[in-house]
A and B are shown apart, each in its own frame.
Chain A
């Protein structure tokens, strides 16, 4: 009979907490969005599944060895951990109370060397870091996974349209206004007392407006790791929603006549220019903003491999096999941050709302900038391509093309929109560098 009780007490059903159940439902919801609604399935399938794995009770896939030990270990082990942490356990209180005290001490009061000693105790007794916890440390806490993905994106990007018309870089810059306006919005929400965001958290939320998954994950892993799950989910969900969010704003801000503007054919760009561009960009980053060097450095490296034409095997790996492997690990690691205590908070709703605002403002700023440039320059510029300044390559460029075709069925804007589109990637990486520089 005792064995039966032990088995029951070790079951998931017995240990399931309400938060975990809700988070498993959230994970299933993400899988639904990815599989049936085709929302960025490459990312949301691993993220959703990782979220489910992380919330399986007692399995401890997403927590460290010490947390795991404090959660499920025998009382004797708890005493060892307590002595390692320099605390004593009240013999009158029950085992559950001991666990709570230990967790509180480990979170706030303990010194780093005490934590390390407690961790050693847990490892010696046979507890190990959860698989997803290890993925998170290797892939995201170190910053490596977003950077490798950025390298792959660089290997996939053709800077030809941008080099043919360098002024489209301004559109990529203007669209970054969405990022900074959202930072201000998040700070404003905390000042009004609706939410409680620090300036670092506000910056990490704002970068959702950069519409660039790896950049968002990189920035929030540096500035606000506690919000990473919600920020990554918001970033990828809204990137999938670009075809729905952008067109109304684009139509609202432009007249039919402006949407019909045809742009002049782009000049051909020589191979030498394409080879020199990533190197020139790298030099500028080195000179002006070393904090953007991890992101833009890897981006330029990937692009140089693509354009130099002598390392086709490496380019092929960077844009196919490697980026796929890293996407799996990155997705599961992001999923491991979908824990009830950090995700089921009013702040998550705020992040979702602010992310949407960031996209809208970025789109509007890009379109308005393009209108200004159209008035000032001799060469006609269709304001619709300004909306592509919010990276989200190549979705935003396709949206600009589609809205342009609605007004004039012979006006193909796709190649013209690719210029601001890749400029947006550079712009959001620069914005990320500025925020990291300013805040850390």
Chain B
């Protein structure tokens, strides 16, 4: 009699425990997914964006610099050649 009681208790613990572990981790999955989406929305991929933005700026600045450099060197070249004559 007591044996079957013990067995029942074991079964109950198994069902309850396994059920609770699944429910808890499901809630965790949902909240983690939500959290990641929220963070993704308000702070769109913070690791990637600033670096790529900086990169663009850097390359833009660099190409501008190149242009200025080319103009200046052309002007210098013309000035020098005009003075030589």
Residues of A within 8 A of B (CB): 162-163, 166-167, 169-170, 172-173, 176-177, 179-181, 183-184, 186-188, 190-191, 193, 199, 202-203, 268-273, 276-277, 280-281, 284, 288-289, 423, 426-427, 430-431, 434-435, 438-439
Contact = CB atoms under 8 A, between A and B. Distances in A.
Given A173-B22, A288-B24, A277 B17 contact: no
A275 B14 CA distance: 34
Of B14, B24, B46, most A-chain CB atoms within 10 Å? B24
A239 B32 CA distance: 29
A277 B46 contact: no
B32 A427 contact: no
Contacts of A184: 10-11, 13-14
Interface of chain B: mostly helix, strand, loop or mixed: helix
11 contacts: A169-B32, A180-B17, A183-B13, A203-B13, A268-B48, A273-B39, A276-B35, A281-B28, A284-B27, A431-B17, A438-B17
B25 A426 contact: yes
A438 B16 contact: yes
Interface string B34-54: 011001000101111000000
Contact of B21 (A187, A427, A438): A427
Contact of A438 (B13, B22, B33, B47): B13
Nearest to A167: B29
A284 B24 contact: yes
A400 to B, nearest CB: 19
B39 A434 contact: no
Interface stretch (B1-9, B59-67, B69-77): B1-9
Contact of A169 (B29, B35, B39): B29
A434 B9 contact: no
B18 interface: yes
Contacts of B22: 170, 173
A193 B3 CA distance: 9
B13 A173 contact: no
A272 B46 contact: yes
Nearest to B36: A273
A176 B32 CA distance: 20
Of A180, A183, A186, A272, most B-chain CB atoms within 10 Å? A180
Given A169-B25, A169-B28, A170-B25, A191 B4 contact: yes
A179 B21 CA distance: 11
Which A-B residue pairs are the 6 nearest by beta carbons?
A187-B10, A191-B3, A180-B14, A173-B25, A166-B32, A434-B17
B25 A277 contact: no
Of A183, A269, A435, most B-chain CB atoms within 10 Å? A183
Given A166-B33, A270-B43, A280-B35, A176 B21 contact: yes
Given A268-B48, A270-B39, A427 B25 contact: yes
B39 A272 contact: yes
Contact of A187 (B6, B26, B33): B6
Given A184-B10, A426-B25, A434-B16, 12 more contacts: A162-B32, A166-B36, A170-B25, A183-B14, A188-B7, A268-B47, A270-B39, A272-B39, A272-B46, A276-B39, A281-B28, A288-B24
B35 A423 contact: no
A289 B20 contact: yes
A174 to B, nearest CB: 8
A430 B33 contact: no
A162 B10 CA distance: 32
A404 to B, nearest CB: 24
A288 to B, nearest CB: 6
